[in-house]
Amino acid sequence: MTMDWQQLLSRRRLSFRGDFQAMSPVHLRSAFERDWDRILFSTAFRRMHDKTQVFPLPDNDVVHSRLTHSLEVASVGRSLGKNVGRTLLERHPALASHVDIHDLGDIVAAGCLAHDIGNPPFGHAGENAIASFFQSDAGRAATVGLSPRERDDFERFEGNAQGFRVLTRLQLEGNGGLHLTSATLAAFSKYPRESGDALRRPGQVATKKHGVFQADTAAFAALARETGLLPLGALPGAAWARHPLAFLVEAADDICYSILDIEDGTRLGHVQPANAEQLLAALVPDDLARLAAFSDAMERISFLRARAIGRMIDQCVEVFLDHEAAILDGSHGSSLADQIADAAQLQALKTLARNACYRAPEVLEIELAGYEALGGLLATFVPAAAADPRDGPLAEKQQKTLALLHGRGVKLAGSTTYERILRVTDYVSGMTDRHALATFRRLTGIAIPGRLG
């Protein structure tokens, strides 16, 4: 079996209920351009301006936040999509009546724009902080009645699954979500499976994590049917092969964070300019003569960064096109960036970023603060949300906690314990870094609202 490009590029718009919106009439903007606009103007996207990329709450305005990182990933993704699209339209002439080269670029760009939209405060440390709470005694006590997969949604909290939930449900929930096209949603979904370690397949990068919560599996199954994603039937649960364009979304992210984290680290003094220049120069040896025009170290690094990104784009496009058949039949299991000619040089940049940037004292300090803040918020909210009034009257603190959550727009009434806890993680993961810290301070009495604050 193999996936079909025309079906993969479906314009039908999905709601969280698993149904599809009627096709819109012809518009000056394509369906996929409108996906981009819907994501860009969403409040969840706007909040990423105050969510950590690597360096949290930076004083340097040039350092990346999640928002600027996502915009740059989308730019790279658009180039990847258009470059791949040019050859796909030559290989598959029938596609020309369905999409054009710009559509391929717009789908990948929109998937890239949203790729981090579900990440909680404090980056990947925030994911770990949420998971750690649910692995604690207090967290497990609250989830004791849940199914193993439901508990796994929390104990291995995953921003990718939260992102699918944000796009399909939490934004404009009363209208059925953002109603993005099926092609864009599927391209966004790098990990098209539900939770559970048994669903991990060695050598298949798409099964490394889960990208769908239990509450959203029906919607994702409808998306998979619409786009023709191949089910991974040998696995004990709901899992599918990746949408081919998800490989390009992943590649755009790999290119950007590998190179741009080094630029940020150099700007903040964690990476020696000579080290950054040496590693970036290894990616673009043919451009070194032009470095003489730049006397400033950061200008030299910025020039090398731009040239290196261009080279990585070309190499990832080549790998994708060389492996198109395996990608379409679901057997291709590696990320594109791991297979490019300069994979070793790219890995050297990642190693430098891990050693010099991700372990910088201010990064570790704010990550540890994130554990305290997110863990503290969940320790307050989750037991109250999970409490069953049938077991007896709620304690006064729990009643006040529920009143606070209600006042913040958290919808808890009439749902199962799993769904009530999921609404709490929706709320906490949607916070910005500063809002999470400020809320934690207020709830713990470190800061008092009003004149006493």
Cα separation, 346 vs 397, in Å, equals 52
Give the amino acid at 106.
D
Q: What is the pLDDT of residues 84-104, one digit of tens each?
A: 999 999 999 999 999 999 999
Examine the pLDDT at 212 and tell me if it is beyond 70.
Answer: yes
How many CB atoms sit inside 10 A of residue 133's CB? 25
Distance CA 250, CA 253 (A): 5
CA 266-248-190 angle, 5° bins: 95
Q: Which of 254-258, 282-286, 325-329 has the highest mean pLDDT?
A: 325-329
**Looking at the whole model, is its pTM more than 0.85?**
yes
- What is the residue-averaged pLDDT of the chain? 91
| Residue of higher predicted confidence among 267 and 413 | 267
Q: Is residue 83 very low, low, confident or very high in pLDDT (cuts 50, 70, 90)?
A: very high
Residue 80 in contact with residue 252, Cβ under 8 Å? yes
- What pLDDT is stored for residue 365 in this prediction? 84
Q: How many other C-beta atoms lie within 10 A of the C-beta of residue 274? A: 10
Please, which pLDDT band fits residue 303 given cuts at 50, 70 and 90? very high
Q: Residue 8: what residue type?
A: L
SS3 282: coil
**pLDDT computed for residue 452 by the predictor:** 45
Q: How many residues does the chain have?
A: 453
The model's confidence at residue 314, banded by pLDDT at 50, 70 and 90, is: very high
How confident is the model at residue 57, as a pLDDT? Answer: 56
Is 90 exceeded by the pLDDT of residue 130?
Answer: yes
Q: pLDDT band at residue 35, thresholds of 50, 70 and 90?
A: very high
Whole-number pLDDT of residue 287: 76
Query: Quick one: what percent of the chain has pLDDT higher than 70?
Result: 94
Q: Tell me the mean pLDDT in the region 286-315.
A: 89
Radius of gyration of the chain (CA): 22
* 217-268 tens-digit pLDDT: 999 999 999 999 999 988 888 999 999 999 999 999 999 988 988 888 888 8
Lowest mean pLDDT among 6-10, 405-409, 445-449: 445-449
Dump the DSSP string for 197-234: GGG--TT-GGGSS----GGGHHHHHHHHHHHTPPB-TT
∠ CA 416-421-425, nearest 5°, is 145
pLDDT at 450 over 70: no
Q: What is the DSSP letter of 240?
A: B
Q: What is the pLDDT of residue 28?
A: 81
pLDDT for res 451: 45
- Find the mean pLDDT for residues 275-281: 91
- pLDDT at res. 58: 58
Residues 80-107 as b or e (16 or more Cβ within 10 Å = b): bbbbbbeebbeeeeebeeebebbbbbbb
pLDDT at 291: 84
* Residues 369-409: tens digit of each pLDDT: 888 999 999 999 999 999 876 666 778 888 999 999 999 99
pLDDT of residue 172: 86
Cα maximum dimension of the chain: 76
Tell me how far apart the alpha carbons of residues 411 and 386 are, in angstroms, rounded to a whole number.
13
- Does pLDDT of 335 surpass 80? yes
